[in-house]
Amino acid sequence: MVGVSALLLTGCSGTAEPSGDKAPAASGDAKTVKAGDRDLTLKIGTILPQSGALAFLGPPEEAGVQLAVNDINAANLGMKVEAVFRDSGDTTTDTATVSVTDLLSQDVSAIVGAASSGVSKTVIDQIVAAGVVQFSPANTSPDFTEYADKGLYWRTAPSDLLQGEVLGNQIAEDGNSTLGMIVLNDAYGTGLAKSLKDTFESAGGEVVAEELFNEGDSNFAAQISAVTAANPDAIALITFDQAKIIIPALVGTGYPGDKLYLVDGNLADYSKDFPAGLIAGSKGTLPGLDVGTLGDFTDRLLEVDPTLKDFSYAAESYDSVMLIALAAYAGNDVSGASIADYLRQVSGGEGDGEKVSDFKAAAKALADGKQVNYDGFSGPVTFDKNGDPTEATIGVYEYKADNTYKRIN
C-alpha cells in the first residue's frame, strides 16, 4: 500500500544545490560537542494557530510544545526552558507579524511555527534577519526546501511532494479514474495540489476540474458547481477549516460523501459538525505517526490539555522543542546561530550517534562528549542539508459513521 511508514525523502525534498544564502551542505564531519558545565536558559516562542482557519491544530501543537518544555525542565540537567505562546492567526490578518515582533523583543532564541506554510512565508524573513531559528512542526510547502534562510529554517513535517504522492496513489488504487479538486490558493494548497495531480495522472487518472479559492472566502458555490459539473469519480479537498462549509454543501448536491479525499489541513474530528454518516468511508492523509496509538504520550498530552480531541502535529511540535534544546545543549550556547549549527548533528544528519529518544538520555550523552541521534514521537528525525526531514510517515485515514477517523494504513 502507499501509506508506508518511514518513507525515505531522498529526491522528494529536492536535490539541487541550495540557492541564495541557504546554508551550504555539511562536510560530514561531526562538530565537537562543547564540554563544560551547562547552566543554560533557553527561551522559545511559538506562533501557532489560536485563531483563524487552522485553529483546530493549535491546541495539540501547543500541548506538544508545553509537554516537551515540562520534560526538559524535569530532567534538571543544566537547562531551563521557557515557552512564550503567541497566536499566528492566518493569512487574512497580520497576527503572525505582530506576534513575531513581540517574541523577538523578548529575545527568544527560536520560534516554533507557524502551522500554515502561507503564514510562515509572511514572517520567515523577519525571523531570519533577527538571527533566530524558525522551526515549524507543520509547514509542508516545497517552497521552503531551498529558501534563502541562512540555515535558520527547519521543520519536522515532510514536504507535500510526499503527501501528494501518497494521496494520489491512494485515490488511484481505490479505483477512481477521474478527479476533481477544490484548492486553497496559497503556497500550501497549490503545492500539494500539483503533487497530487502529477501523481494521480502518472497512475493513469485524469484531473477533470481544479477550482481555487482564497483565504477568507466564505461562499464556495461556484467552485462546487464547477467541480460537480465535471462528474469526477472522486473529489479532493485541499483546504483548512473551509471544509466545514464545503463538505455539507457538496454532499447536499447529491455527491457521495464517501468519495471525498481530505488532507492534513482539514483531516479533523467532525463528529460535532456533521450529521452522522455524512462522510463515512471518505479518506484522508496526515503526516506523522498515529499519536492516538502512542498511549503514554497521548495520556501526557491530555494532562497538559484535558480538552484535546485532535492530536495532529502534537508529536512534531514536541520533537521540534526537543531538537532545539538538544542543539543548544550540544553547543552549550542558546544563540540562534549556534542552535542552527548543531540541529542537523543532533538529528543524526552528520553521521552516526548514540540513538536517543528523550532529553534526559540525550543530555547525559552530550555531557559525556558523545554524539547523539534523536528520534522522537513523530518518528525518525534526520535532517538533510536544507533542514528538511529525510524520512517521514504519511498515514492514510478513513472516516467512520460518527465522522471521526481511524488510521487504515
Q: What is the pLDDT of residues 145-176, one digit of tens each?
A: 999 999 999 999 988 889 999 999 999 999 99
CA distance linking residue 94 with residue 80, whole number of Å: 31
CA distance linking residue 73 with residue 51, whole number of Å: 29
pLDDT of the residue at 68: 98
CA torsion angle 16 17 21 27 (round to 10): 140
Among the listed residues 340, 338, 343, 325, the one whose alpha carbon sits nearest the alpha carbon of residue 43: 325
With 90 as the cut, is the pLDDT of residue 327 above it? yes
With 60 as the cut, is the pLDDT of residue 109 above it? yes
- Residue 189's H or E segment, with its range, is helix 187-202
22 Ramachandran zone, left/alpha/beta (phi>0; psi -120 to 50):
beta
pLDDT of the residue at 1: 32
Strand, coil or helix: what is 357? coil
Q: Where in the chain is the domain with CATH 3.40.50.2300?
A: 40-158+295-377, 160-287+393-407
The predicted model gives 46-54 an average pLDDT of: 96
With 80 as the cut, is the pLDDT of residue 115 above it? yes
CA distance linking residue 192 with residue 208, whole number of Å: 17
The predicted model gives 51-76 an average pLDDT of: 97
The predicted model gives 97-122 an average pLDDT of: 97
CA distance linking residue 187 with residue 61, whole number of Å: 21
The predicted model gives 23-33 an average pLDDT of: 59
Q: Which amino acid is at 197?
A: K
Contact 113, 163 (CB under 8 A): no
E strand segments, 298-393: 354-356, 372-376, 379-380, 391-392
Question: In the structure, what pLDDT confidence band is assigned to residue 32 with cuts at 50, 70 and 90?
Answer: confident
Cis bond upstream, residue 114 (ω within 30)? yes
pLDDT of the residue at 379: 87
Q: pTM for the whole thing? A: 0.85
The predicted model gives 203-219 an average pLDDT of: 97
Question: In the structure, what pLDDT confidence band is assigned to residue 392 with cuts at 50, 70 and 90?
Answer: confident
312: which 3 cell numbers? 495532529
Give the whole-number percent of the chain exceeding pLDDT 70.
Answer: 92
Cβ-based neighbours of 293, under 8 Å, separated by 6 or more: 407
Sign (positive or negative) of CA dihedral 239, 242, 243, 249 = negative
Question: In the structure, what pLDDT confidence band is assigned to residue 36 with cuts at 50, 70 and 90?
Answer: low
- Residue 240's H or E segment, with its range, is none
Strand order of the β-sheet with 153-155 is: 79-87, 40-48, 110-113, 133-136, 153-155
262-289 pLDDT per residue, tens: 999 999 999 999 999 999 999 999 998 7
The correct answer on CATH 3.40.50.2300 for the domain covering 40-158+295-377 is: yes
pLDDT of the residue at 290: 77
With 80 as the cut, is the pLDDT of residue 9 above it? no
Mean pLDDT of all residues in the chain?
Answer: 91
Question: In the structure, what pLDDT confidence band is assigned to residue 377 with cuts at 50, 70 and 90?
Answer: very high
The predicted model gives 352-381 an average pLDDT of: 93
With 70 as the cut, is the pLDDT of residue 350 above it? yes
pLDDT of the residue at 34: 85
If one looks up domain 160-287+393-407 in CATH, what number appears? Answer: 3.40.50.2300
Could you give the angle at which helices 187-202 and 160-173 cross, rounded to 10 degrees? Answer: 40
With 80 as the cut, is the pLDDT of residue 72 above it? yes
CA torsion angle 382 135 317 239 (round to 10): -100
Among the listed residues 197, 277, 191, 278, the one whose alpha carbon sits nearest the alpha carbon of residue 236: 197
With 60 as the cut, is the pLDDT of residue 216 above it? yes
